[in-house]
Chains A and B, each alone.
Chain A
Amino acid sequence: MAKTLKFCAAALLLLMLAACSNDPWQLKNISGLVPDLSFAMTDDTGRAVDARTYRGDIVLLYFGYTHCPDVCPTTLARLDSALHAMRERGSVRVLFVTVDPARDTVPVMHQYVDAFGPEFTGLRGTPDELHKLAKRYRVTYSAGKPDARGDYDMTHSDGVFVFGSNGHGRLMILPDDDAKKIAADLDRLAAGG
């Protein structure tokens, strides 16, 4: 009994120490929490792509839609300024997955991501492919009620998943993380951190 108690106390102490140890990352560390990057979709040039296409790159995965009034453009702009602030930006690929494939056709996606820069790729999947990818990362999306003109808003996730060049989930960019923080951690990741 006393032995068990001692063991529990030791285990608890270790846990607390682990929690206190300084995490070198400024962004949310998700190592081991999410499955490796895996999907099969069509990119904004109409090419069939999957996770292997982007092996070797640091991948930033973000779910949104081009009719998005505020959150998506500001998030993408923030990522863009983070990329500009990086020391070495060539190894980063931003994958913008549309949760609204009905309106976001391949040409619409192409025009949209083109405005942000060459590191940005738009991805469009069939409803089934999109469902699979969202469920894999435990995120969701849904369409709101259409107004008189048939326009509608979508709910979608706010976070950006960051995968290492080997496809392992590493970090998560949250809405409050600024470009400087993001750039610092991406540089660190690119340097093999």
Chain B
Amino acid sequence: MESLRSALTFLLPWEFSPWMLVLCAGALVLYTRGLRRMPERVGVARPLAFYIGVVLIYFVTQTHYDYLAQHMFFIHRLQHLVLHHLGPFLVAISWPQAVLARGLPDGFVERWLRPVWRHPAVHSVYRVLQHPLVAPTLFVGLIYLWLTPAIHFDAMLNERLYWTMNWSMLLDGLPFWFLMLDPRTREQGALIAIGPRMAIQWIVILPQIAIGAYIVMAHHELYDVYSICGRAWAEDPLTDQELGGLITWIPAGMMHLIGFLVLMRFWMRTDKGRIPVAESAALAHPVRE
């Protein structure tokens, strides 16, 4: 009974964020409603990826997992792995736009979403952020920014800065992986051709290896804020730091490797001409240009 209660307590938010709840619950409701209303079957794999991605994002930010992430460096690195890599990757690979659009009330996309989306201000900002040079720079730059020891210190001490950090990882991770895992070719409407996207996977791995390895091999405490504010349990500071560095280095790199393999599959499919126009239309973004 006691263990059940502590398990349930663990699942409650450590710091409640109404926006995170609205985002995750809203995505799940829209997607589920959309699935039921889809004229054709979506299969199992794509919905599964979407649900796991959203639930993971919710779990690392809106349960007591977040408490552990605030007080243990390597758990914080796992949190960012989910927010920046794994969660957005799973959501993007499910390519959920058509299903989500179905989940909205009839006419909502035509009346509200499309005009906003097509508004020159919105569209030009989106195009700049999704530029083949800007998007990878932003993706890597954010990792470096928040891992700068002085900035990291302040972020762990200040609630607003902490949430800015976590939201920035999620809100950068989502468009990045949607850009990278677009199943369409350039001709079919993707912003970047498949080949350059494969190259980007390799390019962004390198600086992540560099910073991960630097953290692993540092023989002094880079992120002393965890000692200063107390660790969730007794753990050697350098062991914690090494684990955190390894997570920044290896699983993060693996996600780009998987991204590369997925893109290779897309590429081979198009090469054999096996993406017929009808299928690509079904896969396409609900708001096409």
Contact between A158 and B227, CB atoms less than 8 A apart: yes
Asked if A142 and B233 make an inter-chain contact with CB atoms under 8 angstroms apart, the answer reads: yes
Query: Complex formed: what's the CA distance from A41 to B271 in Å?
Result: 71
A142 to B157, CA, bound (A): 19
Map CB proximity to A onto B55-97 as digits: 1 under 8 Å, 0 otherwise.
0000000000001001100000000000000000000000000
8 Å CB contact of B230 from A140, A174, A175: A140
Q: List which B221-244 residues lie within 8 A (CB) of chain A.
A: 224, 227-234
CA distance A155 to B227 in the complex (A): 9
Interchain CB contact under 8 A, B154 and A138: no
Q: Say yes or no: is A139 at the interface (Cβ < 8 Å to chain B).
A: yes
Let me know if A30 is at the binding interface, CB within 8 A: yes
8 Å CB interface, A110-166 against B: 134, 137-142, 144, 153, 155-159
How many residues of chain A get a CB closer than 8 Å to chain B's CBs? 24
In Å, the complex CA distance between A153 and B228 comes to 17
Give every chain B residue within 8 A of A140 (Cβ-Cβ).
67, 70-71, 229-232
> CB distance A159 to B228 under 8 Å?
yes
Question: Inside 8 A of A172's CB, which chain B residues have their CB?
Answer: 157, 228
CB pair B230–A141 under 8 Å, yes or no, is yes
- Closest Cβ–Cβ distance, residue A2 to chain B (whole Å): 12
> Which B residue sits closest to A139, measured CB to CB?
B229
How many chain B residues touch A (CB < 8 A): the figure is 22
Bound complex: CA A175 to CA B225 (Å): 11
A33-B158, A138-B156 known; A155-B233 Cβ under 8 A? yes
Residue ID in chain A nearest B160 by CB atoms: A33
Complex: A153 Cα to B230 Cα, angstroms: 13
Closest residue on chain A to residue B124 by CB atoms: A1
Closest to B235 in A: A155
B79, chain A: closest CB distance, angstroms: 15
**Chain A minimum-CB-distance residue to B71:** A140
Q: Is residue A40 within 8 Å, beta carbon to beta carbon, of the partner chain?
A: no
- A34 close to B (CB within 8 Å): yes
Q: Which of B154, B156, B224, B232 contacts A142 (CB 8 A)?
A: B232
Given A158-B228, A175-B224, 6 additional A-B pairs, CB 8 A: A28-B153, A32-B158, A138-B156, A138-B157, A155-B232, A175-B228
Q: Which residues of A contact B (CB under 8 A)?
A: 1, 28, 30, 32-34, 63, 134, 137-142, 144, 153, 155-159, 172, 174-175
Q: List 23 A-B contacts (CB under 8 A).
A: A1-B128, A33-B158, A33-B161, A138-B156, A138-B158, A138-B159, A138-B162, A139-B230, A140-B70, A140-B71, A140-B231, A140-B232, A142-B234, A155-B233, A155-B234, A157-B228, A157-B230, A158-B230, A159-B229, A172-B228, A174-B224, A174-B228, A175-B227
